[in-house]
Homo-oligomer: A and B are copies of this chain.
Amino acid sequence: MGKEEVVEGSARIPERVLRRFTVAIFRKLGVTARNATIAADVLIAADLRGIGSHGVARLPRYVTGIKNGSMVPRAVGRIVKQTRATALLDGGNGLGQVVARQGMQIAIRKARQTAVGFVGVRNSNHFGIAGYYSMMALKAGMIGIASTNAAPLVVPTFGRTAVLGTNPISVAVPAGREEPFVLDMATSVVPRGTVEVYDRQGREMPHGWAVDTTGHSTTSSKAVLDALAKRLGGGLLPLGGEGEKFSGHKGYGLALLVDILCGALPGAATALDVYGDEEAANVGHFFGAIDVRAFRPLPAFKRDMDKLLRTLREAPKADGHERIYVHGEKSFAMERDRRPKGIPLGPKVVESLRKIGDEVKVPFRII
């Protein structure tokens, strides 16, 4: 829900063109063929699902990360410790997508044998959209869980500096005739990208999204972004907003929980230490897979899921509204549109891709 607005003057780029370009860029930077294919797949999946902030628009940051050595292009994860139901994976500072996909695969493999699999990951990097990994469990008839910590952007309740990341949580659950339930949410009210959009458009933000250096809600996106850039304080508010009046402490609690599961549990960085070291971000992830069949036959479960999701979609609507969505629905619709028609990219993103292409000598051609 709350998907991106398509920027004015956007060009539709066919998925395969964008994929081929992205793989080629990674290959030129020394990423193995296998790793490049995985990383590109996760980025393109974000663009297809309407989460452009986590798609190819982010490619420049990966290029920088590989060039400055904080992302190791050939690395794959290594299991440090395991039980029948769990594993601790060291990502070796590899590409977050590569390490995360491996982590989720291990969780699913464990769950095939033991009904439940949980994997903690340390020494990783930004992994893209959490929903990519949770959804890997769906084909196996499992509930998938994916989470990551991230660079500090979120201010705890009653604080005035960012201590936690936007720490997303994703859970995917298979259904029958209905599309799967795919919750994929940052634990902040809005992502930083939304504040940036308001800034570019020169619009005032609503109160309750972000705080300035006093720790109180502001409508000035410029003040928030400036203060964050200069590390003066301020930042995004956790889900529930400022203070306790609308239960901002709950969003703060969820963000902290993610930092515990992704940071403290696998021994990755937490809070201010995530990206605290120039050499290595030491981002941590947490993945889980739960086999539905350990509880009920899959067809019976899927029937109940269909019934539940339909109950929500068919419930009476608020005045002025025509639809109640279930989570994942908007992204699946976006994907159905974009697969055949291509992915709309704004002129700025196209320009940045062209520039990267020039740098590493991979021409970016819009076909």
Tell whether, in the assembled complex, residue B249 and residue A327 are in contact, meaning their CB atoms are under 8 Å apart. yes
CA distance A148 to B2 in the complex (A): 28
CA distance A116 to B270 in the complex (A): 23
Contact for A115 among B86, B244, B254, CB less than 8 A: B86
Tell whether, in the assembled complex, residue A312 and residue B163 are in contact, meaning their CB atoms are under 8 Å apart. yes
CA distance A260 to B311 in the complex (A): 13
CB of A64 closer than 8 Å to a CB of B: no
CA distance A245 to B301 in the complex (A): 33
Tell whether, in the assembled complex, residue B159 and residue A315 are in contact, meaning their CB atoms are under 8 Å apart. yes
Tell whether, in the assembled complex, residue A160 and residue B239 are in contact, meaning their CB atoms are under 8 Å apart. no
CB of A230 closer than 8 Å to a CB of B: no
Interface positions of A from 32 to 91, Cβ below 8 Å from B: 81, 83-86, 88
Tell which of A17-25, A261-269, A337-345 binds the partner: A261-269
Interface magnitude class on chain A:
35 or more
Name A307's closest neighbour in chain B (CB-CB).
B270
CB of A366 closer than 8 Å to a CB of B: no
Q: Given A156-B315, A317-B215, A256–B84 Cβ distance below 8 Å?
A: no
Distance in Å from the Cβ of A192 to the closest Cβ of chain B?
14
CA distance A196 to B308 in the complex (A): 29
Copies in the assembly, this chain: 2
CA distance A296 to B266 in the complex (A): 7
Q: Given A159-B318, A312-B163, A247–B295 Cβ distance below 8 Å?
A: no
CB of A130 closer than 8 Å to a CB of B: no
Tell whether, in the assembled complex, residue A160 and residue B265 are in contact, meaning their CB atoms are under 8 Å apart. no
Tell whether, in the assembled complex, residue B267 and residue A215 are in contact, meaning their CB atoms are under 8 Å apart. no
Interface positions of A from 210 to 257, Cβ below 8 Å from B: 211, 214-216, 233, 239-241, 244-247, 249-251, 253-254, 256-257
CB of A157 closer than 8 Å to a CB of B: yes
On chain B, the residues within 8 Å of A100 by CB distance are none
Tell which of A8-16, A182-190, A347-355, A356-364 binds the partner: A182-190
CB of A202 closer than 8 Å to a CB of B: no
Cβ contacts A171-194/B at 8 Å (1 or 0 each): 101000000010101000110000
CB of A326 closer than 8 Å to a CB of B: yes
Name A2's closest neighbour in chain B (CB-CB).
B244
Name A173's closest neighbour in chain B (CB-CB).
B260
5 contacts between A and B (CB under 8 A): A158-B324, A214-B318, A246-B246, A256-B312, A256-B326
